[in-house]
Amino acid sequence: MTNSNKRVLIYDTTLRDGAQAEGISFTLPGKIALAQRLDEFGIDYIEGGFPGSNPKDIAFFDAFKSGAHKLKRSRLVAFGSTRRAATSPADDAALLKLLDAGTPTVAVFGKTWPLHVRDILNVAPDENLAMIADTIRFCKENGRETFFDAEHFFDGYKADTDYAMTCLSVAIEAGADAVVLCDTNGGSLPHEIHDITRHVCKTFTIPVGVHAHNDAGLAAANSIEAVRAGACQVQGTINGYGERSGNANLCTILPSLMLKMGCRCLHDPKALRTLRAMSLFVDELVDCRHDTKAPYIGESTFAHKGGMHVNAVKKNPLSFEHIDPAQVGNRRRILVSEGSGVSSVLLKAAELGVDLSAAAKESKHVLEAVKQMENKGYAFEAAEASFKILIQKELKQHKPFFELEGFRVIIEKRGKNEPCISEASIKVRVGSEFEHTVADGDGPVNALDGALRKALTRFYPLIKNVTLSDFHVRILDPEEATAATTRVLIESTDGHESWRTVGVSPNIIEASWEALADSVQYKLFREEEKNGINEKL
């Protein structure tokens, strides 16, 4: 069937299923902030949690029920299970909490796999069917849009097709507004998802959704196959967060449906251009490092390093990019390394705001310098700020804002059970003036960083706003043991912009100093470019 212009409803379960991932935890304000961000993004359904499971989810729903917070376009969903065995819905505490959440929509999961009915619920197959029907009917009688999440449906279908389909039938007869086919164990293959979903869609006229897990690495592909087979609702999470290997990643599925298949998914299609920002927002919210190689929205996804590839992209981006990066809020990045050609240097320089198109000789000098320095262990593909400083030096345009006269770092341990004390002293020259300062730190690099800031703040107050956001150390020749060369990569930020610098030395403190010095030099240079450094003095 054709999917062009097909309306596919997007159901986000980051706040519930995503929170089940190892290491992921939302605060109550964080849950509210994400729900509002998803609403702004244009998601159709936002599953807020399981009100029968914990006080935080109850407090989340209360915040919206009371009117303290509101959603403009999205429908908030409370998640729950079918009634307990041998219990009427009206007497089931969890079901009452589900309805008390006050959401316009509820999602109810029930068993569809005989293995679970027999071994997990320990009830007769007919009792399970009654539990599904009674629960759906109860929710509908209480005025809720009700989705039946057919848990383990694909495994159940493969084990006992008639019983799995009967579970859907009783839910539909009880008034379910949609049935959602769940690949709960995440082990189904795309062709299985397609064939089974197509059978369900041909059998019933009710809307069909898909909820896939990523245990076989196929959750996104399985979700897309379900849509091809007739599903019109896709459930997933931002960045694919979820239990075990995660859930279907909406950051992969959304652009695939919208840009590749022509489906209508978000309230405003232009919102897709904020997809990367949405992904980063969630990473920041749960304090997780962003996946730089994530499809569509990763930092490295449109990064080009090979000389021939860079040259081809310069001529026609379609040669090595399957979409325009801007369509998902991403950007093209040119990486420079010892394997690069002049085209890489030209494009990378232009990306950093330096036009080398009329400086062929200088471009070759820059390329040669990159190759020589990378041979020593430097890595400029991950340190764009250091690369820009290198270009300035090769163009004889680099104006150092300060010069190092010397530094000393002391590490002292005054007793077996006493903590290590780190102290750094540094002497720098700014113009004709000298500054000599001392600072303590949690470690030698922290102390050195503090001493440098102390020395320069009198001349450049703006560096007080710069902080180190990441610090990486790599041993380049481990066979040399403690005499090995070390590469230090530092990421810095001023709260608005982030940049990375690199240093290399057999001495880890000297390598750190190189990266620290480049970081401050780059910040001052950027400020001079934008405003003129004197305005900050």
Query: Contact 424/441 with Cβ under 8 angstroms?
Result: yes
Query: Contact 13/232 with Cβ under 8 angstroms?
Result: no
Q: Which residues of 77-96 are buried (b: 16+ CB within 10 A; e: fewer)?
A: bbbbbbbbeeeebeebebbb
Pairing between β-strand 403-412 and β-strand 333-334 as defined by DSSP bridges = unpaired
Please write down the long-range contacts of 421-425, taking CB distance under 8 Å and 24 or more positions apart: 422/446, 422/447, 423/447, 424/448, 424/450, 424/451, 425/451
Query: Contact 501/518 with Cβ under 8 angstroms?
Result: yes
Q: What are phi and psi of 356, to 5 degrees?
A: -110, 10
Q: Residue with structure tokens 């190892």?
A: 22
Q: Residue with structure tokens 């978000």?
A: 266
Determine the pLDDT at residue 75. Answer: 97
**Prediction pTM value:** 0.73
Determine the pLDDT at residue 399. Answer: 77
Question: Cβ neighbours of residue 413 under 8 Å, at least 6 residues apart?
Answer: 419, 420, 421
* Nearest-angstrom CA–CA distance, 446 and 153: 54
Q: How far is CA 411 from CA 124, 442, 507, in A?
A: 70, 10, 15
Q: Do domains 9-267 and 403-536 have the same CATH topology?
A: no
**CATH number of this structure's domain 9-267:** 3.20.20.70
* Domain 403-536, classified CATH 3.60.110.10, yes or no: no
Query: Contact 352/331 with Cβ under 8 angstroms?
Result: no
Q: Which of 202, 159, 201 is nearest to 179 (CA)?
A: 201
**Max CA-CA distance within the chain?**
90
Determine the pLDDT at residue 534. Answer: 45
Enumerate the domain spans of the chain. Answer: 9-267, 303-394, 403-536
3-state secondary structure of 411: strand
The phi-psi region of residue 466 (left if phi > 0; otherwise alpha if psi is between -120 and 50; otherwise beta) is beta
* Nearest-angstrom CA–CA distance, 240 and 218: 11
Question: What sign for the dihedral angle of Cα 81, 85, 89, 95?
Answer: negative
Query: Contact 10/266 with Cβ under 8 angstroms?
Result: yes
Q: What is the DSSP letter of 83?
A: P
In order along its 537 residues, the chain shows pLDDT tens digits of: 467 789 999 999 999 999 999 989 888 999 999 999 999 999 999 999 999 778 899 999 999 999 989 999 999 999 999 999 989 999 999 999 999 999 999 999 999 999 989 998 899 999 999 999 999 999 999 999 999 999 999 999 999 999 999 999 999 999 999 999 999 999 999 999 999 999 999 999 999 999 999 999 999 999 999 999 999 999 999 999 999 999 999 999 999 999 999 999 999 999 999 999 999 899 888 888 888 899 999 988 887 766 566 667 777 777 777 899 899 998 877 666 555 555 556 566 665 556 555 555 666 777 777 777 777 777 776 677 877 777 777 777 677 899 999 999 999 888 888 888 899 999 999 999 999 999 998 889 889 999 999 999 999 998 888 888 888 888 776 666 555 788 888 888 888 888 889 889 988 899 999 999 989 988 888 887 777 554 433
Three-point CA angle 429, 433, 435, nearest 5°: 60
Pairing between β-strand 403-412 and β-strand 498-505 as defined by DSSP bridges = unpaired
* Nearest-angstrom CA–CA distance, 489 and 472: 5
Q: Which residues of 131-165 are buried (b: 16+ CB within 10 A; e: fewer)?
A: bbbbbbbbbbeeebbbbbbbbbbbbbbeebeebbb
* Nearest-angstrom CA–CA distance, 503 and 519: 10
